Amino acid sequence: MAVMLNTLNTPPVAARMHTVQTSPILAMAAAAQALKAEGKPVISLSIGVPGFLPPAHVHEAAHTAIAADRGDYLPGRGSPALVEAWRTALAEKGFHYKATEVITQMGGKGALFNMFMALLNVGDEVIIPAPYWTSYPEMVRLAGGVPVMPLAPAQKNYKLTAAQLQAALTPRTRMVVFNNPSNPTGMLYSAAETAEIANVLAAHPHLWVVSDDIYDHLVYSADAAESEALRAPHVLDTHQSLRERTVIIQSVSKTYGMPGWRVGMAAGPEPLIDAMLTLSSQSHTHVPAVTMAAAAAALTGPQDFLQVQRARLHRQRGLVLGALSAMGWPCPVPQGAFYVFPDITQLLGKVSAHGTPLTSDVVLANALLHEAWVATVPGSAFGCPTSVRLSYAGPEAELAEAMARIAQWAAKLH
C-alpha cells in the first residue's frame, strides 16, 4: 500500500515519501480490526504478536517505576539498569561489550532505523535475503540506500546460500542483513549454514553485518523438550573478527510478550553507537523510563516462563503444519519464531466459491480475509509472491478454528 500523498493545494511532502510504503503487515492487521469492528468474526493470523503477556515481575517493575517517578530525563543510551542487563544478556551468549558499545532504542524497529540512517550513504547497496521482514527495504530506501534482495524459494527452504550471497556482492555493497531465525519463514540457519555465510562476510572487510536476533530465544527442535538446549547460531560464533563491523539488534517484544512496550537494543562498535545516540538525541531523546524498568526486569528476572511458551508454540506449530499438510499446501518446517510460510503456487489461477479468481498472493490473502474471515499476510510483502505468512502464536482454540476455516475455503476452490 503506497503512502497517500496530499492532493490539496498545500506544499507537497518530501520526495522520499513517494518511494516508501506503509507496512503491509500493519495494513492487513488494520483491515482485520476494521472488519471485527463491523461485527465480522475475523481471526487474525497476520501481525506478529507473541500471544502471551510478560511475567508478573515485569508488570511489578513498571508499577514500582511509576511510584518512584521523579519526572527526570534519563540517559539517551538507556537507564543504567537496562544497559547492564543488555550487556549481561550479550555476555551470556559469549559476546562482551562495553557500556559505550550498547544503546537502547524505541523498539527493535527504532534500532534498525537509526542504524541504517547512521551507516548508509546515498546509493549504498544492502543485501537483504528474501523472504525478508517487510520494513528492511523501506528503511534502507529512506536512508538513501538500495536494497538488493536475492530470493531463496521454498524449494531451498527459504535460506540464502553462501554462493548466492557471494554472487549478490558488488563494489557498491555496504551491508548484509542476517535474520536468524527468520521472519517471515521461521526457518533457522544451522551452525554449518551460518558459518558458510560468515566465511563470505569475513572475506569482504568493507561490509557491515546486521544480525537481527529478535527471535533467537524462540528456537525449537523436533522434540519440544530438546528445544531448551537449542540456541540460534550466530555469525560471531564463527568469526569474532566480524565483531568490529557487526551490529546486533535485539528487543524484548517477542521473547517477553512486550511488543507494545517499544524497547529495543543494539550493540556494535562505539563510533556507530555514538552516531545512533546522536540521532536519538534529535528525535525521541530516550526510551520512556517505565518501559526501560520493565525491560530490565524482563532480562534479569526468572526465565522459566520461556519453557512454557516454547512448548506451547511448538505444539501450535504442529497443529498448523498438520492442517497445511492435510490441505496439500507445501511448507518447509520452521524451527524458530512463530510463523509458517506455505507455498501457495498451486492455488494461483483457481477460483474461490465466491467467484474470486486467485490471480495473485494479494488477491488470495484478501479472499481469505473477506470469505473465510481469516487474516494472513501475502508473501509479496516479504519479497516472495508465491507464499502467505500465518502467525501461530495466538490462542490455540482460535488457531484451530482459523485453520478449519482455511481448509473449508480451500476445499471449494475450482
Give the separation between CA 163 and CA 200, rounded to whole angstroms: 9
Cis omega (within 30 of 0) for bond into 181: yes
Q: Is 179 exposed, middle or buried (0-12, 13-18, 19+ CB in 10 A)?
A: buried
Residues 6+ apart with CB under 8 A from 52: 257, 305, 309, 312
Give the separation between CA 267 and CA 263, rounded to whole angstroms: 14
Q: Nearest-CA neighbor of 406 among 396, 393, 398?
A: 398
Give Rg (Cα) of the chain: 21
Give the separation between CA 285 and CA 78, rounded to whole angstroms: 10
Q: Nearest-CA neighbor of 219 among 190, 253, 261?
A: 190
Give the separation between CA 359 and CA 270, rounded to whole angstroms: 49
Angle at 186 between CA 183 and CA 189, to 5 degrees: 100
pLDDT at 5: 55
Grid coordinates representing 170?
A: 558488488
- Residue 123 backbone zone (phi > 0: left; psi -120 to 50: alpha; other: beta): left
Q: What is the pLDDT along the chain (414 residues), one digit of tens a residue?
A: 455 555 567 888 888 888 888 888 888 888 999 999 999 999 999 988 999 999 999 999 999 999 999 888 999 999 999 999 999 999 999 999 999 999 999 999 999 999 999 999 999 999 999 999 999 999 999 999 999 999 999 999 999 999 999 999 999 999 999 999 999 999 999 999 999 999 999 999 999 999 999 999 999 865 544 444 467 999 999 888 999 999 999 999 999 999 999 999 999 999 999 999 999 999 998 999 999 999 999 999 999 999 999 999 999 999 999 999 999 999 999 999 999 999 999 999 999 999 999 999 999 999 999 999 999 999 999 999 999 999 999 999 999 999 999 999 999 999
